[in-house]
Amino acid sequence: MFTATLLLAGLLAAGASTVEKRTGSGLESMLDEESPDVFLAKATLQQYLSRVVREDWDGVRRLTHPKTLAAIAQLKRRASAERHDLAPWLDRSAQLKTFRFTDARQVSPGVVLLQVGEDFYRPGDQGMSVDDTAVYFLFKSRGGFLVADKKAGIDVHQVSDRSVRLGYPGYVDQQVQAQARRESALFEGRHR
């Protein structure tokens, strides 16, 4: 009887330590988990870049922010050419072949910066450029994230929050901003 009780106590202790290990790894995974905005922005950019690779230009335009499309059109009227990083349908000198996410940063609610390593085929040189870095700016608009800008050759940490807020006024829907203010007031105890 004593041996059975000792054996049972040993099994329970082993089970408890296993639960503790699982709980610890669960806590670590929760801390490493990305925010919902970053997750959704990555999903949007995944769709956008996949359509660039497939040369689905209508799909690319649907995932491009309307203010960016207006800026591209205005550039075309002034310079009679659409030279913009988010107008890949006009630049045949480089074709995106593969990409990978390397870093992400949420600037504010509804604003996410994603760093990507891109591999391009350059038909003129008949060669590949590998792992060119670029930072994409995504803003929550029209119920989801849309791609608003691309800065090639920089790191996500080189872009200041202030420059994004000042450089892209009105890119985030008012509803998203109001929701963020309500949530911060609730967490800070300033609710009505």
Contact 96/52 with Cβ under 8 angstroms? yes
Q: What is the mean pLDDT of residues 118-127?
A: 87
Separation between Cα atoms, residue 31 and residue 26, nearest integer Å: 9
Identify the H or E element spanning 98: strand 95-108
pLDDT in tens, 159-171: 999 999 999 999 9
What's the pLDDT score for residue 145? 96
| pLDDT over 60 (residue 24) | no
Separation between Cα atoms, residue 122 and residue 128, nearest integer Å: 6
Q: Is 109 exposed, middle or buried (0-12, 13-18, 19+ CB in 10 A)?
A: middle
The predicted model scores a pTM of 0.76
For the chain, the domains span: 33-187
Domain 33-187: which CATH number of 3.10.450.50, 3.40.50.460, 1.10.1200.10, 1.10.1520.10:
3.10.450.50
pLDDT in tens, 65-89: 999 999 888 887 777 655 678 888 8
What's the pLDDT score for residue 13? 52
**CA distances (Å), 168 to each of 19, 25, 152, 165, in order?**
48, 39, 17, 6
| pLDDT over 70 (residue 47) | yes
What's the pLDDT score for residue 91? 77
